[in-house]
C-alpha cells in the first residue's frame, strides 16, 4: 500500500514547476494503517508561499487511492536543500533554466 | 559556414529574418524601428509587473491568516522579479532604467489603468490574482510564443511558471470565499468592477487598432480582440462555476464570448462602479481616462520611488 501512495504522490506536482513533490524531496515518510494515509511533509523554505496548495493537492490525490479514507499530513520542517531533488527532478528544472 | 555581416541591417532584411522564424539575439541584429517597438512593449510589461507589487501589498495587509499573507507576499516578490527581468532587458538595450523607474513622473508610467484603482481588501486582492494575473498570463504567454526577441523569450519561461501559481492562488481563494454567503457578496462586488476593467486592459478593439508593426516584428502574435477572448475563455467559466455573475457569455453560433454590457463604458473610480446606464462611450474617452490615470497612481509610484529619493537627498546633504 505504501508503494501505491508513493506512486500517487509522484503525480502531485509543485504548483510552479512540473516536478513532483517526491522528486523535489519534500516527502519525508509515508505510512498506511486502517484506511489512514499519513504523510510527513517538509517544504523548501519556511516562507514557502505554496504550503496550503501543496497540502491540498496531496490530500486530494491520496483520497483517490483505493482504500484511503483519511489523509493526515504532518509538517515536519526537516531541513531541505537542493541536494534533496532527485536526478529526474534536477533534469526537468535544468531544462526550464532553473539552477 | 555562416558569414558575419557588418553591414547595417535593412528593414526588409530584418522582416525577412523574422518571417523565416529566426530570432533576434540582440540590438546588433535589429533596426532602430524594431528596437523602439521592442522598448515600448518592454516598458509596458515592466511597469505592469512593478506597479502590481505595491498595489497587491496594500491589500495583502488584510490577509486572513499568516499562510495567506506569506502566499500574497510570495506573489509580490515574484512580480518584482518579473519587473526586474524586463527592466534588465531594457538596460541591455541602453535604457537608463534608474531614471525610468525612479525619476519618471507617475502619470508617465505605462501600467494598465486597472492598477490605479486601489485594491482595498483580501477579496479584491484574490480577484486581482485571478483576473489581472490571468491577463498578464495571457499577454506574456502570447509574447513567449511569438516574440522574435530571443533574450525575452528565454526569460519568460520562469515568469510563465510563476504566474501559474498566482492564478491558482486567486482561484483557490475565490472558491473559499464563495462558500461564505457574506464573503460571496463581497466577491460579487469585486467581480462587478474588476471584470470589465480587465476587459479594457487588452486595449482598443481590432477595428480601431492596427497592429501591423507589432505583429510583423514579432513582438506579439494575437490581436487585442483575440487576447480579450483568450482571457474570457477561462475567466468566465471560473466565475460561472463559483456562481458569480459576469457580464459576458459564450455564444456557440459565433464561437466566441460576447460582452453583455455597454463596452467601453464610463467608470466611477472613486466608488468603483460602472455607469452602464449611460450607454457605451468612445475609446477616445477611455484613452483620456487612462491618460489622466486613476486614484492610486501617485501613491503606488511614489511608494516605489520613495527610498531612492531619500538616499539621493542624504547623499547630497
Model confidence pLDDT, tens digit, residues B114-165: 999 999 999 999 999 999 999 999 999 999 999 999 999 999 988 888 888 8
Pairwise CA distance, residues B282 & A50, whole Å: 43
What pLDDT score does B7 carry? 61
How distant is the Cα of A65 from the closest Cα of chain B, in angstroms? 23
Pull the grid cell for residue B182. Answer: 457574506
Pairwise CA distance, residues B311 & B296, whole Å: 24
Residue B60 sits at the vertex; the CA angle it makes with B66 and B203, to the nearest 5 degrees, is 145
Q: Which residues of B touch A92 (CB under 8 A)?
A: none
The residue-averaged pLDDT of B244-249 equals: 98
The residue-averaged pLDDT of B226-242 equals: 98
Cis peptide before B264 (omega within 30 of 0): yes
Question: Which residue intervals of B61-149 are DSSP H helices?
Answer: 66-92, 97-98, 122-146
Pull the grid cell for residue B250. Answer: 459564450
Reply yes or no on whether the pLDDT at B3 is more than 70.
no
Could you tell me the pLDDT band of residue B4, with boundaries at 50, 70 and 90?
Answer: low
Residues on chain A bordering chain B, Cβ-to-Cβ distance under 8 angstroms: 15-17, 47-53, 56, 96-98
The Cα-based distances of B182 to B78, B178, B185, B189, B237 in angstroms read: 31, 9, 5, 11, 22
Q: Which residues of B touch A50 (CB under 8 A)?
A: 71, 74, 165
Could you tell me the pLDDT band of residue B90, with boundaries at 50, 70 and 90?
Answer: very high
Question: CA-nearest residue of chain A to B76?
Answer: A49
Question: Which residue intervals of chain B are DSSP H helices?
Answer: 11-19, 32-60, 66-92, 97-98, 122-146, 150-178, 181-201, 212-216, 224-241, 283-292, 297-316
Instruction: Give yes or no for a contact between B90 and B154, defined as CB atoms under 8 angstroms apart.
Output: no
Query: Across the interface, do A53 and B164 touch by the CB < 8 Å criterion?
Result: no
Q: Which residues of A touch B168 (CB under 8 A)?
A: 15, 53
Closest residue to B67, CB basis, from A15, A16, A51: A51
Model confidence pLDDT, tens digit, residues A49-96: 889 899 999 999 999 999 999 999 999 988 999 999 999 999 998 887
Residues in a beta bridge with B304: none
Query: Across the interface, do B74 and A98 touch by the CB < 8 Å criterion?
Result: no
Mean pLDDT of chain B: 94
Reply yes or no on whether the pLDDT at B180 is more than 80.
yes
* Dihedral in degrees, nearest 10, Cα atoms A51, A56, A58, A59: 140
How distant is the Cα of A89 from the closest Cα of chain B, in angstroms? 15
Amino acid at each position: 500500500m505504501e508503494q501505491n501512495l508513493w506512486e500517487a504522490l509522484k503525480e502531485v506536482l509543485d504548483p510552479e514547476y512540473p516536478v513532483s513533490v517526491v522528486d523535489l524531496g519534500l516527502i519525508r515518510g509515508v505510512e498506511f494503517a486502517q484506511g489512514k494515509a499519513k504523510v510527513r511533509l517538509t517544504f523548501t523554505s519556511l516562507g514557502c508561499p505554496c504550503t496550503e496548495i501543496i497540502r491540498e493537492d496531496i490530500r486530494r490525490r491520496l483520497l483517490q487511492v483505493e482504500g484511503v479514507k483519511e489523509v493526515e499530513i504532518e509538517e515536519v520542517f526537516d531541513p531541505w536543500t537542493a541536494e534533496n531533488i532527485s536526478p529526474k527532478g534536477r533534469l526537468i528544472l535544468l531544462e526550464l533554466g532553473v539552477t | 559556414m555562416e558569414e558575419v555581416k557588418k553591414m547595417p541591417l535593412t528593414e526588409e532584411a530584418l522582416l525577412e529574418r523574422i518571417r523565416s522564424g529566426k530570432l533576434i539575439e540582440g540590438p546588433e541584429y535589429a533596426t532602430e524601428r524594431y528596437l523602439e517597438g521592442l522598448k515600448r512593449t518592454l516598458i509596458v510589461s515592466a511597469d505592469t509587473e512593478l506597479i502590481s507589487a505595491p498595489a497587491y501589498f496594500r491589500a495583502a495587509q488584510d490577509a486572513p491568516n499568516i499562510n495567506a499573507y506569506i502566499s500574497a507576499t510570495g506573489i509580490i516578490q515574484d512580480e518584482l522579479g518579473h519587473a526586474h527581468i524586463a527592466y534588465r532587458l531594457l538596460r541591455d538595450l541602453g535604457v537608463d532604467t534608474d531614471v525610468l523607474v525612479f525619476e519618471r513622473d507617475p502619470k508617465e508610467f505605462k501600467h494598465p489603468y486597472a492598477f490605479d484603482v486601489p485594491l482595498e481588501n483580501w477579496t479584491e486582492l484574490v480577484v486581482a490574482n485571478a483576473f489581472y494575473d490571468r491577463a498578464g498570463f495571457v499577454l506574456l504567454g502570447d509574447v513567449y510564443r511569438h516574440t522574435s526577441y530571443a533574450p525575452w523569450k528565454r526569460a519568460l519561461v520562469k515568469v510563465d511558471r510563476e504566474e501559474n501559481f498566482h492564478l491558482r492562488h486567486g482561484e483557490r481563494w475565490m472558491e473559499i470565499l464563495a462558500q461564505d454567503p457574506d464573503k460571496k457578496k463581497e466577491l460579487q462586488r469585486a467581480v462587478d468592477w474588476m471584470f470589465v476593467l480587465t476587459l479594457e486592459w487588452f486595449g482598443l478593439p481590432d477595428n480601431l487598432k492596427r497592429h501591423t508593426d507589432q505583429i510583423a516584428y514579432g513582438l506579439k502574435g494575437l490581436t487585442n480582440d483575440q487576447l480579450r477572448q483568450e482571457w474570457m475563455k477561462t475567466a468566465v467559466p471560473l466565475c460561472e462555476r463559483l456562481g458569480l455573475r459576469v457580464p459576458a457569455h459564450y455564444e456557440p453560433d459565433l464561437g466566441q464570448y460576447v460582452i453583455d454590457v455597454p463596452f467601453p463604458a464610463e467608470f466611477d473610480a472613486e466608488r468603483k462602479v460602472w455607469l452602464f446606464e449611460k450607454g457605451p462611450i468612445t475609446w477616445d474617452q477611455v484613452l483620456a481616462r487612462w491618460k489622466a490615470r486613476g486614484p492610486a497612481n501617485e501613491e503606488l509610484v511614489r511608494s516605489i520611488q520613495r527610498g531612492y529619493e531619500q538616499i539621493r537627498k542624504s547623499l547630497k546633504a
